[in-house]
Copies of this chain bind each other. A is one copy, B any other.
Amino acid sequence: MVLDHPWCRVRQDEIELPNGKIIDDFFVSIKPEVTMILPITDKKEVVFVRQYRHAVGNFFIELPAGNFDPAKESAESAAIRELQEETGYVAENVRKIATLYDKPSKDTNQIHLFIAENVIPTGEQSFDITEDIEVILIPVESVLEKVAQGEISVAGTVAALFLGLNLLANQCS
> Which of A's residues lie within 8 Å of B, judged by CB?
2-3, 5, 7-8, 10, 12-13, 15, 17-19, 21, 23, 25-29, 52-56, 58, 60, 98-108, 110-111, 129-132, 144, 147-148, 150, 153-156, 158-159, 162-163, 166-167
Q: Please give, as numbers and ranges, the residues of chain B lying within 8 Å of A107 by CB-CB distance.
A: 55-56
**CA of A10 to CA of B2, assembled, Å:** 11
Q: Please give, as numbers and ranges, the residues of chain B lying within 8 Å of A162 by CB-CB distance.
A: 158-159, 162
Contact B26 A58 (CB under 8 A): no
Q: Please give, as numbers and ranges, the residues of chain B lying within 8 Å of A129 by CB-CB distance.
A: 17, 19, 21
Q: Please give, as numbers and ranges, the residues of chain B lying within 8 Å of A99 by CB-CB distance.
A: 150, 153
Q: List, sorted by A's number, 18 A–B pairs whose CB atoms are closer than 8 Å.
A: A3-B3, A7-B26, A7-B27, A19-B132, A26-B130, A28-B55, A29-B29, A56-B108, A99-B153, A100-B158, A101-B153, A103-B103, A103-B154, A148-B166, A155-B155, A156-B159, A158-B162, A159-B159
Contact B54 A100 (CB under 8 A): no
Contact B5 A154 (CB under 8 A): no
**CA of A99 to CA of B158, assembled, Å:** 12
**CA of A104 to CA of B59, assembled, Å:** 9
For residue A147, which residue of chain B has the nearest CB?
Answer: B163
Q: Please give, as numbers and ranges, the residues of chain B lying within 8 Å of A12 by CB-CB distance.
A: 8
Which 4 residue pairs spanning A and B have beta carbons closest together?
A: A18-B132, A8-B27, A162-B162, A53-B104
Contact B54 A105 (CB under 8 A): yes
